[in-house]
């Protein structure tokens, strides 16, 4: 399509297109009428920096709706919410002539310490991928591109430009790549952004296996691959690996390197042309969707931000139905976050909001009760202020009920650095102790981007997780506290009891040059559920002001063909007095597994809304990957045939109904046994089963004198079943010929007819 335009470009012009024109613009070619286009930070709102002269700092950006960040959006478990937010963000981009917004980020929450966790969705790749796909689809449906990031294995801030993420292939395939894969296959983002770090020794921005073999060849990505800002290492190697656009620009040094590499024959000009074609296609796509004079509806977007923020609030604890609050008597709002909310995280996603709701003002608008306020701490520091704490203690003692606003500050969590502990700031912890001591009727309202420790949990009747809910978070929190909205958020991450309990604790963040992912596939709830380790709050947890019942789980009978989609249905009933929503979660577990696999893994989910007394049948689909694990030996997704457990519930720990399912992959190429195989692997084939019986007969006969229940008998039986054929032949002392052995293996492989075995020594 762009061949003629490509032919009109000089080698130098082609090289120049491979880097940005400046901090935020891709280059054009003015003489050919090829316009430049703009990209900006995101992903939960538009962060378009003001032009030079108007303030060009990181936080000097044009006003835009600050929607809830990914930590909140994931807690909704609602694809529709994500799609609507994507559309709204795109409309604000169109109003500012922005062609691509940088996000969403789908990196896995490997550790709760990562300073950027508020910008990521989940510890689970299915949740991250599905919700990212919905956001991308909404944004791009309005004509604005997205940049799926940070590809890949970028799970910490410390040493993020230096570290080498050393991850085994199975862990990459099952944990750290699927969210990207789901988003690419379902939503086709216009761009993907390479991460800063190395992956198994090679920079992500020049890792051919990641960028070309997996992303493009396997998943079918046909858009532009850009670097994170400053992530380019070797520009020529990046081009050869599949990287297209270096950001920011200009990069005259790298442009020169490209030109020299082509002229010296070290880089094929066809590789450069392929990259330039993709860049031209993206520039054309952006230009076609520009809308001159477009205006965004900021009031409507603020209402949407409040709705989504309220749906993301997670009711963690509600002892004796302490919440919702009745608007009567004296209620104390304590904590400076009540008047100066922390509504977003720090770093490149920082939005200049169009307006900002705070809980104090929103609660005063309700009327009908006396509202008392005390700051309790100052946002200017994290150390306790005795005078502020004493003022807060008195306010708490004078109130009937207290809402305590505490959480984390930008000094503790932000892009650019990781946390070192899970504790609240000292000032917030000291305030909590004083307030609870003065009045036990306390609901704690948290503002934080990631889990915190709660040694005080048993001393308060209610805890509400608000995360960092965006510019309408204050109103959303009040809506939930006073029952105007029934909370329906669910955690998309586990809240651990202690930092030491987290699966990556011993290896996070690693040294300056390397971080080892030794916990493997056992990330988040996969670790806790498999170890049966206690947690503070499990993955998927979220309470409601109503109650939900699960019943009538229906799974296919007989043996399921694992290569085909399977539908599971379950009835969900609102058994309480008010309307509500719940995230119905389906987990799958392999009952007998020959490789280490989690006890259960999330494989489908659906958010449903129910009126009081209403019952709905929820249908959930399981595909091939629901049963499979990645086999590094076969380089393929593999089903280990046998019994699986399908479980449905309200969290990973709150399973309501379960059923067994027998699964077989009828399309799988059989894994043929060889001389390193053990007897059970031969028994998967009729001829092999007979051969296994012949081999094991002498051993079983020799054990006839043993008590079948004795340890000696059990040891001998186990060894017989687990010894490889090559060793068993040694013990057979020539009773089984080499000729028969080779013939049996050939028959199993279909290389010889079974009749060839007749008459061979040892075949009976």
Domain CATH code at residue 601: 2.60.40.10
Residue after which a domain boundary falls, among 474, 501, 518: 518
**What mean pLDDT is predicted for residues 705-721?**
71
165 has pLDDT over 90: yes
Who contacts 572 (Cβ-Cβ below 8 Å, separation ≥6)?
548, 549, 550, 582, 584, 608, 610, 615, 616, 617, 618
Would you say residue 261 lies in a domain?
no
| CATH code for the domain of 331 | 3.40.50.1700
pLDDT reported for residue 31: 82
Give the number of other CB atoms < 10 A from CB of residue 676: 10
Q: Both 397 and 436 in a single domain?
A: yes
Residue 668: pLDDT band (50, 70, 90) is low
38 has pLDDT over 90: yes
646/600 Cα distance (integer angstroms): 9
Q: Both 505 and 600 in a single domain?
A: no
Q: Both 512 and 561 in a single domain?
A: no
Q: Both 632 and 719 in a single domain?
A: no
Q: Where are the alpha helices (DSSP H) in 655-732?
A: 679-682, 686-702, 711-722, 725-731
pLDDT in tens, 71-128: 999 999 999 999 999 999 999 999 999 999 999 999 999 999 999 999 999 999 999 9
Dihedral angle sign, alpha carbons of residues 189, 192, 193, 197? positive
Number of structural domains in the chain: 3
pLDDT in tens, 548-590: 999 999 999 989 999 999 999 999 999 999 999 999 999 999 9
- DSSP class per residue in 232-299: -S-HHHHHHHT--BBSSS--HHHHHHHHHHHHTTSS-HHHHHHHHHHHHHHHHHHHHT--TT----HH
Domain of residue 434 covers: 304-518
Helix orientation angle between 298-312 and 473-481, rounded to the nearest 10 degrees: 50
Start-to-end CA distance of the chain, whole Å, equals: 69
pLDDT reported for residue 713: 66
pLDDT in tens, 619-628: 999 999 999 9
pLDDT reported for residue 404: 98
Average of per-residue pLDDT values in the chain? 93
Residue after which a domain boundary falls, among 518, 533, 565: 518
Q: Both 421 and 478 in a single domain?
A: yes
Q: Both 731 and 600 in a single domain?
A: no
Who contacts 485 (Cβ-Cβ below 8 Å, separation ≥6)?
310, 311, 313, 476, 479
pLDDT reported for residue 52: 62
744 has pLDDT over 70: yes
Q: Both 384 and 513 in a single domain?
A: yes
Q: Both 605 and 709 in a single domain?
A: no
pLDDT in tens, 334-378: 999 999 999 999 898 999 999 999 999 999 999 899 999 999 999
pLDDT reported for residue 758: 85
Beta strands in 311-454 (DSSP E): 314-318, 330-334, 352-353, 370-374, 401-407, 442-447
pLDDT in tens, 473-507: 999 999 999 999 999 999 999 999 999 999 999 99
Would you say residue 700 lies in a domain?
yes
246/225 Cα distance (integer angstroms): 9
Residue in the block written with tokens 């084939």: 685
Longest dimension (CA), the chain: 98
Share of the chain above pLDDT 90, in %: 78
Would you say residue 27 lies in a domain?
no
Would you say residue 719 lies in a domain?
yes
In this structure, of 175-179, 333-337, 498-502, 744-748, the range with the lowest mean pLDDT score is 744-748
Residue 471: pLDDT band (50, 70, 90) is very high
445/433 Cα distance (integer angstroms): 15
Residue 55: pLDDT band (50, 70, 90) is very low
* Residue predicted with more confidence, 169 or 751: 169
747 has pLDDT over 60: yes
For the purposes of burial, counting CB atoms within 10 Å of the CB of 488, is it exposed (0-12), middle (13-18) or buried (19 or more)?
buried
Burial 31-64 (b: 16+ CB within 10 A, else e): eeebbbbbbbbbbbbbbbbeeeeeeeeeeebbeb
pLDDT reported for residue 754: 84
* Residue predicted with more confidence, 333 or 750: 333
Q: Both 406 and 363 in a single domain?
A: yes
C-alpha closest to that of 68 among 446, 402, 343: 343
Q: Please give the model's pTM, rounded to 2 decimal places.
A: 0.92
210 has pLDDT over 80: yes
Beta strands at 37-41 and 25-26: parallel, antiparallel or unpaired: antiparallel
Residue after which a domain boundary falls, among 635, 664, 693: 664
**What mean pLDDT is predicted for residues 667-688?**
79
pLDDT reported for residue 388: 98
Residue 670: pLDDT band (50, 70, 90) is low
CA angle at residue 381 from 379 to 383, to 5 degrees?
120
753 has pLDDT over 90: no
pLDDT reported for residue 734: 63
- Cα-flanking dihedrals φ and ψ of residue 49, to 5°? -65, 145
Would you say residue 360 lies in a domain?
yes
In angstroms and rounded to an integer, the radius of gyration of the C-alpha atoms of the chain is 30
Distances (CA, A) of 196 to 153, 232, 349: 10, 8, 17
Who contacts 206 (Cβ-Cβ below 8 Å, separation ≥6)?
233, 234, 237, 238, 240, 241, 243
pLDDT reported for residue 701: 67
Q: Both 401 and 477 in a single domain?
A: yes
Residue 669: pLDDT band (50, 70, 90) is low
Tokens of 414: 């932000």
Tokens of 210: 């990641």
pLDDT reported for residue 7: 87
**What mean pLDDT is predicted for residues 148-158?**
96
Q: Both 344 and 369 in a single domain?
A: yes
Would you say residue 47 lies in a domain?
no
pLDDT reported for residue 218: 97
Residues carrying an active site annotation: 228
- DSSP class per residue in 600-629: -EEEEEEEEEE-TT-EEEEEEEE-GGGT-E
Would you say residue 639 lies in a domain?
yes
Residue 733: pLDDT band (50, 70, 90) is low
Dihedral angle sign, alpha carbons of residues 518, 150, 419, 513? positive
Q: Both 596 and 709 in a single domain?
A: no
pLDDT reported for residue 708: 72
Would you say residue 128 lies in a domain?
no
13 has pLDDT over 80: yes
């Amino acid at each position: 399509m762009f061949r003629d335009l490509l032919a009109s470009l000089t080698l130098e012009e082609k090289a120049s297109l491979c880097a940005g024109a400046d901090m935020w613009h891709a280059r054009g070619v003015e003489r050919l009428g090829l316009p430049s286009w703009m990209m900006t930070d995101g992903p939960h709102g538009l962060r378009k920096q003001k032009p030079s002269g108007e303030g060009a700092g990181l936080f000097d950006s044009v006003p835009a709706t600050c929607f809830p960040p990914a930590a909140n959006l994931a807690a909704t478990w609602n694809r529709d919410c994500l799609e609507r937010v994507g559309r709204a963000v795109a409309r604000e981009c169109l109003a500012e002539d922005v062609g691509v917004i940088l996000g969403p980020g789908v990196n896995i929450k490997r550790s709760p310490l990562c300073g950027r966790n508020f910008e990521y969705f989940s510890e689970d790749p299915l949740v991250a991928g599905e919700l990212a796909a919905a956001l991308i689809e909404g944004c791009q449906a309005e004509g604005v591109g997205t940049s799926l990031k940070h590809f890949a294995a970028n799970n910490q801030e410390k040493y993020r430009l230096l570290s080498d993420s050393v991850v085994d292939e199975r862990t990459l395939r099952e944990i750290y790549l699927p969210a990207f894969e789901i988003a690419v296959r379902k939503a086709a983002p216009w761009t993907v952004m390479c991460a800063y770090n190395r992956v198994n020794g090679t920079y992500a921005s020049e890792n051919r296996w990641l960028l070309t073999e997996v992303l493009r060849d396997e998943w079918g990505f046909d858009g532009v691959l850009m670097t994170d800002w400053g992530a380019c290492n070797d520009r020529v190697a990046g081009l050869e690996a599949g990287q297209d656009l270096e950001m920011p620009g200009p990069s005259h040094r790298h442009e020169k390197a490209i030109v020299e590499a082509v002229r010296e024959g070290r880089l094929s000009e066809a590789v450069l042309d392929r990259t330039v074609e993709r860049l031209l296609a993206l520039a054309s796509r952006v230009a076609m969707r520009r809308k001159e004079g477009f205006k965004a509806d900021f009031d409507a977007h603020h209402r949407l931000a409040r709705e989504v923020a309220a749906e993301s609030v997670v009711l963690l604890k509600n002892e004796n139905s302490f919440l919702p609050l009745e608007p009567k008597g004296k209620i104390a709002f304590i904590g400076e976050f009540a008047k100066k909310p922390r509504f977003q995280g720090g770093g490149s996603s920082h939005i200049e909001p169009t307006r900002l709701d705070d809980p104090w003002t929103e609660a005063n608008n309700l009327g009908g009760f006396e509202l008392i306020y005390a700051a309790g701490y100052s946002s200017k520091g994290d150390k306790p202020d005795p005078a502020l704490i004493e003022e807060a203690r008195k306010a708490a003692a004078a109130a009937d009920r207290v809402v305590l606003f505490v959480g984390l500050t930008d000094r503790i969590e932000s892009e650019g650095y990781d946390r070192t502990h899970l504790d609240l700031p000292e000032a917030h912890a000291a305030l909590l102790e004083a307030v609870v001591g003065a009045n036990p009727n306390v609901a704690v309202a948290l503002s934080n981007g990631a889990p915190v420790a709660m040694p005080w949990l048993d001393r308060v009747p209610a805890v509400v997780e608000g995360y960092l809910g965006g510019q309408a978070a204050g109103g959303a929190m009040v809506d939930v506290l006073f029952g105007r909205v029934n909370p329906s958020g669910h955690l998309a991450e586990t809240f651990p009891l202690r930092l030491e309990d987290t699966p990556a604790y011993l290896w996070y963040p690693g040294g300056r040059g390397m971080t080892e992912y030794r916990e493997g596939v056992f990330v988040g709830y996969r670790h806790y559920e498999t170890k049966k380790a206690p947690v503070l709050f499990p993955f998927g947890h979220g309470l409601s002001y109503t109650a939900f019942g699960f019943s009538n789980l229906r799974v296919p009978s007989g043996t399921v063909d694992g290569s085909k989609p399977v539908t599971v249905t379950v009835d969900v009933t609102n058994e309480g007095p008010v309307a509500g929503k719940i995230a119905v979660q389906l987990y799958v577990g392999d009952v007998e597994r020959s490789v280490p696999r989690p006890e259960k893994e999330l494989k489908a989910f659906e958010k449903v809304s129910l009126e009081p007394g209403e019952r709905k049948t929820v249908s959930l689909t399981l595909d091939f990957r629901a049963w499979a694990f990645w086999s590094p030996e076969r380089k393929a997704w593999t089903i280990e045939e046998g019994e699986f457990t399908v479980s449905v519930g309200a969290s990973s720990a709150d399973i309501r109904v379960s059923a067994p399912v027998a699964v077989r992959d009828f399309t799988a190429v059989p894994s043929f046994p060889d001389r390193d195989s053990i007897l059970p692997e031969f028994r998967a084939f009729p001829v092999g089963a007979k051969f296994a019986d012949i081999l094991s007969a002498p051993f079983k006969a020799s054990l006839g004198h043993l008590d079948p229940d004795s340890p000696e008998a059990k040891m001998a039986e186990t060894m017989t079943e687990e010894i490889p054929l090559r060793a068993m032949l040694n013990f057979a002392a020539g009773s089984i010929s080499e000729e028969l052995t080779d013939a049996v293996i050939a028959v199993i492989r279909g290389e010889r007819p079974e009749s060839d075995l007749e008459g061979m020594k040892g075949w009976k």
